[in-house]
Structure 1
Amino acid sequence: MKKSAVTFAFVLFFFVFMTEISFGQVVKLKSTALAMKVKNDDNRWSDWSDWESTSVLIVADDSRITVYSKEKQVYDIIENEGKKTDSDGDDVLTFSCINEDGARCRLRLIKRNSQNGEAQLYVDFNDMKWVYNLELLET
Structure 2
Amino acid sequence: MKLRTLFFLFLMVFGLQQGYSQSYKFLTTGFSVLEKDAKGNWGKWSELQPSSMVISLDTNKNRIVIYSQEVQLYDIVEYQDKTENDDDLIYPFSCKDDNGVPFTISIITRKKQDNRKQFYINQKDVIVVYNIINYVDKNMK
TM-score by length of 2: 0.78
Report deviation, 1:101: 2.5
User: Which is further off, 95-104 or 54-63?
Assistant: 95-104
**Superposition map of 1:1-139 within 5 A:** 23-62=20-59, 63-86=62-85, 88-139=86-137
Structure 1 unmatched ranges of 5 or more? 1-22
For the aligned residues, what is the CA RMSD?
Answer: 1.2
Identity %: 31
* Distance in 2 separating the partners of 1:68 and 1:28: 11
Structure 2 unmatched ranges of 5 or more? 1-19
* Distance in 2 separating the partners of 1:80 and 1:42: 32
- Deviation track 1:72-121 (CA, whole Å, cap 9, x = no partner) reads 111110011110014x5210011110112322110010011111111000
* Distance in 2 separating the partners of 1:45 and 1:71: 25
* Segments of 4+ moved more than 6 angstroms: none
- Secondary structure of the residue that 1:100 maps to in structure 2? coil
Aligned match of 2:5: none
Which amino acid counterpart does residue 90 of structure 2 have in structure 1?
V
User: Who wins on radius of gyration, i.e. which is larger?
Assistant: 2
- Matched pairs, number: 116
Which amino acid counterpart does residue 63 of structure 2 have in structure 1?
R
* Distance in 1 separating the partners of 2:129 and 2:89: 16
TM-score by length of 1: 0.79
Which amino acid counterpart does residue 52 of structure 1 have in structure 2?
Q
* Distance in 2 separating the partners of 1:71 and 1:104: 20
